[in-house]
Amino acid sequence: MNQDETSKFIDLYFDEVLRPILPNVKKGGHSSWGNADGSNQSVQMDLLGLAETYNQSIYCYSGPLTFIHYTSIDSIINILNTGSIRLYDLNNMTDPNEMNYAFNHIAEEINHDKVKNLKSQIFSFSFCKYNATDLLDDFEMWRLYGLDGNGIGLVFSIDQNNRDTWHHCILSEILYGENKKKSLLEFRERDKAFKEKYKNDITLENTHELALAMASLHKDDIFINEKEVRLLWTTKANNKIWHDHDTDYDIYETLNKDGDKTHYFNLKLYSPNLFQELRKKEAESSEYPQAFAKFTKLHRPKIQIDKIILGYRIKNENLFKVSELLKALAIKRYGAFIPIESSSLIKKF
């Protein structure tokens, strides 16, 4: 099979298998190898490329780009100190209801080690949809994820303007229940049928990566009250994560709650202090020419902190101390004043 034939084969796969679930998918780069006579060809495709791939699909989040992330006081201090949020790979998800709900249906032929390897290539950060006026909804989220009102709610916003240019990033709301899972299972059936039909012609090596990414966006409908939106970042889990030719992030190893190895990286927030740091690098070193201008054009999410909400069960004697500490860190480490307020639920307790 020559290059033209390989390209036509990929076009056929996109039309028959991918576009029913991802109507806007674009053919990216691919690599192929095999015997000199064109037999035993294998192809690896870039199926997790531009974010616009997911436009017009069930995996494209189209709601307001303001979210809340519930966490502990220690975690918000770390976020402010580092100016970043931490994305863990999917091996960090130890709840079988979280990860296996959809993936078990599409990965029966994949061995355990390959599943772990696939999970190590996809990183995740979870938000909840933000509704400042729904106290009942707010209470459920605080109870489940905000340390029962003893934690912090961090309100983020994401810039819409460069979203279609993101590389290897997906922003999707979690899809709950069996009905939402049907399209994913139908994709896997099309994928299996296609591979069986053309097994003597060519081998597609990496379609499981896409299947896993989509499967990680499905949950049982018992979790529907979470109203979760998930940012996925796909890569190869080595010592670096690539997101633009001008910069990269270190990937670190740690252990999940079950004692298994997992990875994470720190995604820089779009903060004033980061801008100052880049301008300083521009001025001081020829190694960083136009660092600030390049950063503002990166193909990555531009996420910033809009507000900090203190949990309704934080003791009155601690409210002032916590608030003052966070204000000081926001100005010193993040580089801007961040509004801080108590949860409106404090009136109920």
Q: Is it the case that residue 106 has pLDDT exceeding 90?
A: no
Cα–Cα distance for residue pair 78/50, rounded to 1 Å: 30
**Percentage with pLDDT > 90 across the chain:** 40
299 is in which domain, residue-wise? 3-348
Residue 286 has what pLDDT?
60
Range with lowest mean pLDDT among 19-28, 33-42, 88-97, 330-339: 33-42
Residue-wise pLDDT tens digits, 51-93: 778 889 999 999 999 999 999 999 999 999 999 999 999 989 8
- Return the structure tokens found at 165: 């240019």
- In the predicted model, what is the mean pLDDT of the chain? 83
In this predicted structure, the answer to whether residue 12 has a pLDDT above a threshold of 60 is yes
Is the pLDDT at 137 greater than 80? The verdict is no
Strands (E), 99-205: 122-129, 152-158, 169-173, 175-176, 202-204
When mean pLDDT is compared across 21-30, 267-276, 288-297, 317-326, the lowest value belongs to 288-297
Taking the C-alpha atoms of residue 349 and residue 346, their distance in angstroms, rounded to an integer, is: 5
Hey, what long-range contacts does 260-265 have (CB within 8 A, 24 or more apart)?
A: 260/91, 260/94, 261/91, 262/88, 262/89, 262/91, 262/92, 262/120, 263/88, 263/89, 263/91, 263/120, 263/123, 263/237, 264/86, 264/87, 264/88, 264/89, 264/92, 264/123, 265/86, 265/87, 265/123, 265/241
Position 61 scores a pLDDT of 95
At residue 246 the predicted structure's pLDDT band, cuts being 50, 70 and 90, is very low
Coil, strand, or helix at residue 134? Answer: coil
**Amino acid 278: pLDDT:** 62
Tally of domains within the chain: 1
**Per-residue pLDDT for 341 more than 50?**
yes
**What's the confidence (pLDDT) of residue 239?**
47
pLDDT of residue 109: 61
pTM over 0.75: yes
- Provide the CB-side half-sphere exposure for 225 (13 A, CA): 12
Residue 331 has pLDDT above 70, yes or no: yes
